[in-house]
Structure 1
Amino acid sequence: MSYLKRKIDGYLLAWKADPFRLPLIVKGPRQVGKTESIRRFAHGAYESVIEINFVEEPKYRAILADGYSTDDIVRNVTLIDPSKRFLPQKTLVFFDEIQEFPDIATSLKFFKTDERFDVICSGSMLGIAYKNIEHNSVGYKTDYEMRSMDYEEFLWAKGYGSGIIEEMNAHLIEARPFSDLEMEVYSSLFMDYCILGGMPAVISKYIARGSFEGTLSAQRQLIADYQEDIRKYADGMDQTRILNVFKHVPVQLAKENKKFQITKVARGARFKDYRGCIEWLEQAGVVSVCRCLLYPELPLRGNYDENKYKLYMSDTGLLVSQLDDEASDDLRANRNLGVYKGALYENFAAEAFVKSGMDLYYFKKEDSTLEQDFFARTKTRLVPIEVKAKNGTAKSMRTLIASDAYPDIEYGIKLCAGNVGNENAIRTFPYFCSFMVKRYLSEQE
């Protein structure tokens, strides 16, 4: 299958061009395309590539037997495989699956000090001993977090160039509605993306076959792989608890009250027993946590109730694959979202925000109907964001904007099935523009 262009491609080229570059660690959930992207970059940018996978080739864990110095490692690697060529200033050393051998991170300091060879490490955040890696390499590495493909990368896969993204952005900035044809095309592509998600293996099947054939089975295999990783990497009792939380995310998202309720996960379940499980899944990149603000004002960090949160799947396609067979088939055949409409659109918005670098927050006022799906921030403003399954009135948002009690809020953004609009301090965008919200807000500043 042909390579799918990714945003990390440009990042890797910029990293290589930086004369002060540090060893790079690319983190991310399994199967999001880390190895393929790094490998493609490496073979295009270096004369020699030394690739070592600590899962497939555990014998290489012996390369630190004589110490962490570059000379010791080079000597031991070439002892195991004399065909590997270390050419000064022309070689990339690629350590893959480092969660299986976190000690290798200590060598990054020595590679940086030596400066003859560039180094990239990669590993799944599922089970990655990242605290150890961080401790072993602090000050001598750069981190890059990679996730599954976003809607922009999906449009690239479909053959659309960067010009179309700039045109979309111009519509938002100028509050200029899309034409009927643009709405039809982008909305149709967006629905495909909602169903597929952004996992490269799933997108590749869809592109190659021009249909959804084989995509559901690919998604369900990924879910099975994630569950297997939980069994492999999580400790003892936590395995069962983590699996229970993971399996309940789609179930609870489908309900009207989307606040995640630990008591529904298992009989007698208590929050304090499950806090670490949710943290584990979040660090693994499998779920995204949306935290409940104590009060809708800046700053956001620290201004939330750590016992109240919503959980979203980090990839909406994987959420769709966990629906019952009838709902999943109906969605693919007839694009009927059914009872899951609100959950899917909200999950997609959360996914788009996280992939663009935003943190997730919501607000629910006690003893009141005032509730806001998401918030974003600019340097000086707090911006409420509403995701409407229907093009409704966004009553809570209007209250937040109009009330003197919330001085940080001047306007809001509503994501819905409708066109671009701007009325009564509410900017309306189509769902498919979710991935552009952060860029829009930065340009508004």
Structure 2
Amino acid sequence: MNYLTRNIDSTLIGWKRSTTRKPLLLRGARQIGKTATARSLCSTFKHSVEINFERQPELHRLFEQNLDPKRIIRGLELHSKTKIEAGKSILFFDEIQQCPKALSSLRYFYEEIPELHMIAAGSLLEFVLDEISFPVGRIHSEFMYPLSFTEYLRAMGDEALIEFIPHFPFGRHIEPNVIATDKLRGSLRDYFLVGGMPKAVSTYKETGSFLDVANIHEDLLQSYGDDIRKYAKGEKQLLNCGETFTRLFNQVGKQIKYSQLMVGEDVKRTKKSLQLLEQAMVIHLVRNVNPQGLPLGASANDKQFKIVFLDIGLGQRAVGRNISNYDSSDDLLNLYHGQLAEQFVGQQLLAESVSASENRKVYFWMRTEKSASAEVDYLIVRNGKIIPIEVKSGKSGSLKSMHLFLKAFGGSGVCLQDRESIETNLNLSFAPIYTLL
């Protein structure tokens, strides 16, 4: 499979050139391209040494004696028959969750050989981090997600369309182009079914077959199901977690109620399943917050939340949908009560976010006062400002909640919908669903 260019590539090149870099840890769910991305970076070095702790368990012993970086490097040089030189070489630890002591060793590499480029990648890392002393402040983490819509366009050879996608804040004028708009809508339709999992995108690019993509999605879902056995302890928790995972995509856009998600199941067990799936990074919990100040996360309510599934294409397959469920004339944004539109926007907000930790988070706002209830789909922070976002599946619809929010908290809001261009009315902008925020 050819490498699919990722937005994070430029960030990694910047890390490579930095004189104050720390060991870099790529984090995220399985099968989203972490290894391929790290290898792409490694190819820019004169020498690279890759260690896969899942495929090479014999190398775990190298970290058992002690965590002396110089001793470890000598052992890796003998194993790889490659000289590891600071400034010329990069050391890549893959599947690092399989060797927790290797993860702990990164702090000593940073403290004793800071000039050596080191990158690591792993899945289910959040479970390992609970068990070890994570070297906070000595490692830089970058989070990865499935391909965003712009990355998908680039992978499909449609990079020229990206210049017609609006960027927030809306200072740059984009001349309307009917052909570009039609192509973007067609690509968006495909993306809703293919999603952004690298293997699914590569398969669709090669074969153009949604059936082939569906088979890839089935394999991925099986893989995620197998992973649940690694972190859900006990038969009842395992069954609950697996069933919860397969049902969650149908809950996108709704506030999650444990008792309604798994009727008849123990609520505490279902709550634990959601916590585990969030740790595995196959779902993202979108928590209700009080937007009166920053950081938004300080007021996050763990009892009031919605979810964004890992990937829109994978999620549709998880609930049994495929190309046969859609007619070519269907308005995908209106299907399933706008659920697909809200999943798409949430997924893009995560995948296209900048590196600052606050900007990686996605929240929502809900008020339950009598006769004045309201809900805004998403809240994000950009340049220190809170941006409320409403997702409207059609070209019209009530914006009562948005207006209540803006009246109460001020600022400017964005309404994403099926439209060709941006229109701003006082403190509210209306923009295409695929707008970059």
Corresponding residue number in structure 2 for 1:51: 50
Identify which of 394, 397, 406 aligns with 1:393.
397
AA partner of residue 393 (structure 2): A
Give the alignment of 1:226-265 within 5 angstroms: 226-236=224-234, 237-253=236-252, 258-265=254-261
Residue identity in the other structure for 2:251: Q
Residue 342 (structure 1) aligned to one of 338, 343, 347? 338
CA drift at 1:40? 2.1
Q: After alignment, is 257-266 or 222-231 more displaced?
A: 257-266
Deviation at 1:382, TM superposition (A): 3.7
Aligned to 2:22: 22
Q: Secondary structure at the match of 1:159?
A: coil
Q: Which amino acid aligns with 2:434?
A: F
Where structure 1 has 5 or more consecutive residues not aligned to the other structure, the ranges are: 438-445
Does structure 2 retain, via aligned residues, the 8 Å contact 1:91–1:118?
A: yes
Q: Please give the alpha-carbon distance, in whole angstroms, between the structure 1 residues aligned to 2:158 and 2:240.
A: 43
Q: Deviations for 1:101-135, whole angstroms, at most 9, x for unmatched residues?
A: 111122223322134632211101366412345x2
Asked if residue 275 in structure 1 is aligned to residue 279 in structure 2, the reply is no
- What amino acid sits opposite 2:326 in the alignment? L
Gaps (5+ residues) in structure 2?
354-358
Q: Distance in 2 between matches of 1:318 and 1:332?
A: 19
Counterpart CA distance in 2 for 1:195 and 1:250 is 14
SS of 1:373's partner is: strand
Moved more, 160-169 or 352-361: 160-169
- For the residue of structure 1 that corresponds to 2:13, the secondary structure is helix
Preserved CA contact (<8 Å) 1:330 1:336: no
Q: Distance in 1 between matches of 2:317 and 2:338?
A: 16
What letter is aligned with 2:416? L
- Please list, as runs of the form range in 1=range in 2, the aligned pairs for 1:87-236 lying within 5 A after superposition: 87-112=85-110, 113-115=112-114, 117-125=116-124, 128-132=127-131, 135-161=133-159, 164-165=162-163, 168-169=166-167, 172-173=170-171, 178-236=176-234
Per mean C-alpha deviation after superposition, the further-off stretch among 355-364 and 383-392 is 355-364
Structure 1 CA distance for aligned equivalents of residues 387 and 165 of structure 2: 24
**What is the alpha-carbon distance in structure 1 between the residues aligned to residue 169 and residue 21 of structure 2?**
37
Sort the Cα spacing of 1:376 and 1:212 in 2 relative to 1 into closer, same or farther, 3 A: same
Q: 1:330 matched to which residue of 2? A: 325
2-structure distance, mates of 1:365, 1:384: 14
**Which residue identity does 1:76 align to in structure 2?**
G
- CA offset at residue 401 of structure 1? 5.5
Partner amino acid, structure 2, of 1:56: R
Query: Closer, same or farther in 2 for the Cα pair 1:98/1:238, shift >3 Å?
Result: farther
Tell me whether 1:32 sits opposite 2:32 in the alignment: yes
Contact 1:414–1:429 under 8 Å retained in 2: yes
* Paired position in structure 2 for 1:432: 434
Q: Is the 2:393–2:417 Cα contact (8 Å) retained in structure 1?
A: yes
Kindly state the Cα deviation for residue 271 of structure 1 after the two structures are TM-superposed: 4.5
Aligned to 2:356: none
What is the TM-score with the length of structure 2 in the denominator?
0.88
Task: Verify the 8 A CA contact 1:421 1:429 in the aligned structure 2.
Answer: yes
Q: Which residue of 2 aligns with 1:69?
A: 68
Cα distance in 2, alignment partners of residues 102 and 270 from structure 1: 33
The two structures have a TM-score, normalised by structure 1, of 0.86
Could you report, residue by residue, the CA deviation over 1:269-309 in whole angstroms, capped at 9, with x for unpaired residues? 4544443332222222211111123x553343233432111
Q: 1:210 to 1:171 in 2, by over 3 A?
A: farther
**RMSD of aligned residue pairs (Cα, Å):** 2.7
User: Cα deviations across residues 47-99 of structure 1 (Å, max 9, x unaligned)?
Assistant: 222111111111111112331112321343355x3624333432221111011
Matching residue of 1:442: none
Mean Cα displacement is larger for which, 100-109 or 196-205? 100-109
Q: Percent identity?
A: 25
